[in-house]
Amino acid sequence: MRFRRRRAEEPEINLIPFIDVLLVVLIFLMLTTTYSKYSELQITLPTADAERIRERPAEIIVNVSADGRYLIDKKPVEGRSVDILTLELQAAAAGKAEPVVIVSADALTAHQAVINVMDAARRAGLGRLTFAAQVPGEGGSR
């Protein structure tokens, strides 16, 4: 009897189990990765119930009403643009050594009105800025 020789089959690489293993590893890495949020601006937020300051440095108090009107050191500001606020802050800071800008905004003030004050203070070269807040239970502002 004559037996036929079988042809040598070429080995086949099955990629399905390999892909399954890679997907499991990918899912594992995605679940165990911690996401850190890096910020370009490092800020320290003030707390509302901190001790009262005994010595007060030179201050410029900027009041912002709920409808977006500004008062700088109890003087009304004509207009609402950042350029006008910058000029008024520069005039208020004249003769004061490193004044602190205190923003006292109404709780219902638009966010943009407060941002305008911050931008005007930056343009005027006033780097020290803080926000007034009510002390819980007292009803007064700080």
What's the confidence (pLDDT) of residue 40? 47
pLDDT tens digit sequence for 96-132: 888 899 998 887 888 898 899 999 999 999 888 888 8
What's the confidence (pLDDT) of residue 23? 96
- Each domain of the chain, given as residue ranges in start order, spans 59-131
pLDDT at residue 11 greater than cutoff 90? no
| Total residues found in the chain within this entry | 142
Q: Which fold has domain 59-131?
A: Nucleotidyltransferase; domain 5 (3.30.420)
pLDDT at residue 137 greater than cutoff 70? no
Q: DSSP label at 62?
A: E
Burial 88-99 (b: 16+ CB within 10 A, else e): bbeebbeeeeeb
Please tell me which of 11-15, 55-59, 134-138 the model is most confident about, judged by mean pLDDT: 11-15
8 or 36: which leads in pLDDT? 8
Whether the CB-CB separation of 104 and 62 falls below 8 Å is answered with yes
What's the confidence (pLDDT) of residue 5? 72
Whole-model pTM? 0.56
Q: How far apart are CA 72 and CA 106, in angstroms?
A: 14
Q: How far apart are CA 73 and CA 81, in angstroms?
A: 18
pLDDT tens digit sequence for 23-58: 999 999 988 887 665 544 444 444 566 556 556 678
